[in-house]
């Protein structure tokens, strides 16, 4: 069951002063919010990329541009290392 989302209103005067083409404002803000919430640990990687409607690779690239490191628990890191070595 899909639940209602929230809407954030940005006054036209502020949108007008943004140094972005108007058609890019929504996507830019969603990516920025998603990256910020991920960085703070408020959203997982999957939920953050879902928020800005990006693939894993696109969102990973955006995190790299912003110099935001992926959150890895030691267990996940060890599993990834084992997986990498098992596929040589």
Q: Is residue 25 part of a domain?
A: yes
In the chain, the number of structural domains is 1
The pLDDT of residue 87 is above 70: no
Percentage of the chain modeled with pLDDT above 70: 94
* Residue where the block lists tokens 């290392």: 81
* pLDDT (tens digit per residue) in 22-58: 999 999 999 999 999 999 999 999 999 999 999 999 9
Q: Is residue 67 part of a domain?
A: yes
Which residues 6+ apart lie within 8 Å of 10 measured at CB?
25, 29
Q: Which domain holds residue 58?
A: 20-86
The pLDDT of residue 3 is above 80: no
| Phi, psi dihedrals of residue 14, rounded to the nearest 5° | -75, -45
pLDDT at 15: 94
Q: Is residue 60 part of a domain?
A: yes
DSSP codes of every residue in the chain? -PPP-------HHHHHHSSS-HHHHHHHHHHHHHHHHHHTTSS-HHHHHHHTT--HHHHHHHHHHTTPPPP--HHHHHHHHHHHHHT-
Q: Is residue 5 part of a domain?
A: no
Q: Is residue 11 part of a domain?
A: no
* pLDDT (tens digit per residue) in 67-77: 999 887 777 67
């Amino acid at each position: 069951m899909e639940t209602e989302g929230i809407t954030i209103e940005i006054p036209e005067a502020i949108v007008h002063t943004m140094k972005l083409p108007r058609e890019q404002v929504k996507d830019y803000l969603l990516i920025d919010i998603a990256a910020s919430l991920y960085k703070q640990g408020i959203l997982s990687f999957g939920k953050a990329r879902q928020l800005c409607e990006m693939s894993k690779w696109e969102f990973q690239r955006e995190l790299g541009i912003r110099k935001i490191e992926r959150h890895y628990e030691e267990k996940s890191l060890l599993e990834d290392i084992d997986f990498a070595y098992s596929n040589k």
